[in-house]
Chain A
Amino acid sequence: MILESNLVANLKQFIQYTGFANATFGHIVMILIGLVFIYLAIKKDWEPLLLIPIGFGMIIGNIPLFPGMQVGIYEDGSVLNILYQGVKRGFYPPLIFLGIGAMTDFSALISNPKLLLVGAAAQFGIFAAYAGALALGFTPAEAGAIGIIGGADGPTAIFLSGKLAPDLIGAISVSAYSYMALVPVIQPPIMRLLTTKKERLIRMPSPRAVSQQEKIVFPIVGFLITAFIVPSGIPLLGMLFFGNLLKESGVTRRLAETARGPLNDIVVILIGITVGCSTQADKFLQGSSILIFALGAASFVVATFAGVLFCKILNLFLKEGKKLNPLIGNAGVSAVPDSARVSHVQGQKYDPSNFLLMHAMGPNVAGVIGSAVAAGILLGFLG
């Protein structure tokens, strides 16, 4: 009899621990969103390297738990919590920037440095979203973290939201990566709206060959200038330019390959899975998340507007033959290389023999630098 009652009690206790007993509507919704992410990544090829880890992370993070078992991502000491420290304390994003630096060729930018200005102009989306977020009632720190979505740079968004608004990190990072995947959908209508057919046919002069010496000088001088002006951006800028120096120095091939290969892949896996896990239903399914997604979309639109319009304004001051094709303006957002590819594809629709890809890579990589600088500024003002 005692044995029977103990068995029943144990069984009841066991049932209490199961996911079925603790499931809520929110958990189910989040698991479904995770499945949608995985579907989009596999069937539609939308940023699979990120959406698969994030999507599966969402499923992991939303398995209903009995609290106190030290397995949840927000429970101190759990394995997931330890891995999440890389997001929370912001040491994954600089490591990703190291990889980006090691895989980025800045030649297009070095050969035509005025494209740096296009990258700067596209950062306007960040501050438009910042103002919008303030108007919607977010605190300045939260608004800064939301605004950085407009930089179209996932690691930067994670880095800044980890510092300024840790509670919103899940919504901000998922929003940033979602819109990065949607760059080919969001940008072309705006590009067509702002340009005439004549402008879309502009052919830009071929970039000159850049010497090895210039490529080596670029990360060193680039870091010194940007870091002295915005010291708060050192973690991102330092790693970005360091990675690029590893690539361009020509004597650290193994380190460069590790930085852009295995190390980058490891960090992408960890950041993806932990960001996904952090979207627990009780923290993610809130009104603020919807606002963040809306502001993120608005910031992308404004950034694209600003980049294309800036190219048109710059053309007013450039001589014939040196004018920019405004279709590369969208690439100022730092979604590398998707936005540059969008420029190229749009350009080819109007002139199949006009290859804009390498021209668009200039503002594209300038956008990476610009968004890291903008993140540093926001951190300096609001952190």
Chain B
Amino acid sequence: MKKFYSIFILASLLLLSSEAFSQSPVDIRINEVLVSNENGVANETGERCGWVELFNTAYGMVDVAGFYITDDKANPTKYMIPKGNVKTQVPLRQFFVLYADGQPQKGVFHMNFTLEGVKDLYLYATDGKTLLDEIHIPAGLAADQSFGRYYDGEGTHEPINWSKMSARKSSVDKKIAADGGFSILNHPTPGSTNITSKIETKSEKMKDMDPYGGILAITAMSTVFICLIVLYLCFRSIGKRAIRKAEAEKAAKAAPKAAPVKASSISANPSNVDEEILVAIAAACHMYQSGTIDSSIHDVESNVITFNKDLLKNSPWGSRSFTLKQDPRI
């Protein structure tokens, strides 16, 4: 019983901790902001305005209701994300967009200030005191240019250990290291990933690597041959073994029969031909002479392919004439 309680408490703690982890507000980042929207995506009222995109970096849902966004550190509770709306529950690794049009009366996700002239933007937790994230918007951002993290949720304006990102070293990372992971983005992506660089498909890689198809042809033909050569060697060996086995069985079958023939001087089969073969020959001769061989008789033995057309037209599933394709009439 004691053991049961221990397991129950442990399981409850695990559940609670995972729940707490999935709801952690520190996993929310300001991912991208657009100050001037001239030709970009319109909001639900059909108007174009600046916007702020949040990203949930956690692998669990986070509810952003009650979080605060402000452009003034002295006034951290300037705009509160409304409560009571299911859309504030941001699923794992997903995005949440707020419209910075200064018209909160237009809807629940319309902020009460615009981003015109804003230099810094801060995200505070529901207590209005805990700073969760901040972003420093560069001056001179052109219309329809957004500013945000090059990789969703990654980077900070504070110094961080870039060696953690060693698994993805590239020229882009060097750029990130210099600017804290933020960049001016020429392709604003409200509600979706900031990574807009084209991912090269296998086909595109192959085009660069093998523009004439020679390498693929040689590789693929070699693979086809290797595959079928292995199969050939395997079945040659299996076949040889089967032949040896069949011969051994035949010899074993013939041996006891040969002895009595030798032992007795009287034999009905002086040529030592198997009696079954003699019966088969006799039956065939009889059928041939009596004219009973006709098109309805066909072989069923393995390795013998007949040309006789199956005349059982009432049995389409079993009929060879229905299952095999016919020669075209040219």
A residues whose Cβ falls under 8 Å from a Cβ of B: 43-49, 103, 105, 107-111, 113-114, 116-117, 119-120, 123-124, 126-128, 130-131, 134-135, 139-141, 143-144, 164, 181, 184-185, 206-211, 213-214, 217-218, 221-222, 225-226, 229-230, 257, 260-262, 337-338, 341, 345, 357-358, 361, 366, 369-370, 373-374, 377-378, 381-383
Contact = CB atoms under 8 A, between A and B. Distances in A.
Contact of A127 (B204, B216, B236, B302): B216
Contact of B229 (A117, A185, A260): A117
Task: Indicate the member of B211, B217, B329 with the most A CB atoms within 10 Å.
Answer: B217
Nearest to B237: A113
A378 B220 contact: yes
6 contacts: A47-B328, A120-B221, A135-B212, A140-B207, A206-B303, A257-B318
Contacts of A210: 242, 302-303
Interface string B222-239: 011111111110111011
Contacts of B228: 116-117, 119-120, 366, 369-370, 373
Which among B243, B303, B323 has the highest number of chain A CB atoms within 10 Å?
B303
B328 A120 contact: no
A383 B182 CA distance: 34
A350 B48 CA distance: 81
B303 A209 contact: yes
Interface in B2-43: none
Contacts of A113: 231-232, 235-236, 239
Main SS of the interface on chain B?
Answer: helix
B324 interface: yes
A6 to B, nearest CB: 33
Contact of A131 (B217, B301, B325): B217
Given A208-B243, A358-B305, A370-B224, A184 B330 contact: yes
Contacts of B236: 113-114
B295 interface: no
Contacts of A117: 225, 228-229, 232
Contact of B213 (A103, A124, A127, A211): A127
Contacts of B225: 117, 120
A303 to B, nearest CB: 12
Contacts of B264: none
Nearest to B320: A103
Contact of B303 (A45, A108, A141, A341): A108
B316 to A, nearest CB: 9
A207 B330 CA distance: 32
Interface in B220-268: 220-221, 223-232, 234-236, 238-239, 242-243, 246
Contacts of A124: 221
B249 to A, nearest CB: 10
Nearest to A114: B232
A184 B327 contact: yes
Contacts of A213: 242
Contacts of A107: 302-303
B216 A209 contact: no
Contacts of B170: none
B325 A337 contact: yes
Contact of B202 (A44, A120, A206, A383): A383
A381 B324 contact: no
User: At the interface, is chain A mostly helix, strand, loop or mixed?
Assistant: helix
Query: Ordered nearest first, which 3 A-B pairs have the shortest CB separation?
Result: A127-B217, A131-B213, A141-B203
A78 to B, nearest CB: 29
B224 A377 contact: yes
B326 interface: yes
A382 B220 contact: no
Interface in B251-309: 301-305
Given A46-B328, A107-B302, A127-B213, 17 more contacts: A110-B235, A111-B239, A116-B229, A116-B232, A116-B235, A130-B216, A130-B217, A141-B202, A184-B330, A208-B239, A225-B227, A225-B231, A261-B318, A366-B228, A373-B223, A373-B224, A382-B203
B224 A374 contact: yes
Counting chain B CB atoms within 10 Å of each CB, which of A135, A139, A226, A382 scores highest?
A382
B224 A382 contact: no
Nearest to A43: B329
Contacts of A382: 202-203, 206
A357 B324 CA distance: 14
Nearest to B324: A337
Given A128-B217, A373-B223, A225 B325 contact: no
Contacts of A209: 301-303
Contacts of B243: 208
B207 A230 contact: no
Central interface residue in B212, B220, B243, by most chain A CB within 10 Å:
B220
A116 B229 CA distance: 8
A104 B154 CA distance: 57
B201 interface: yes
Contact of B317 (A114, A123, A134, A262): A262
B201 A44 contact: no
**Residue among B228, B232, B304, B305 with max Cβ neighbours from chain A (10 Å):** B228
A225 B226 CA distance: 10
Nearest to A139: B203
Nearest to B306: A357
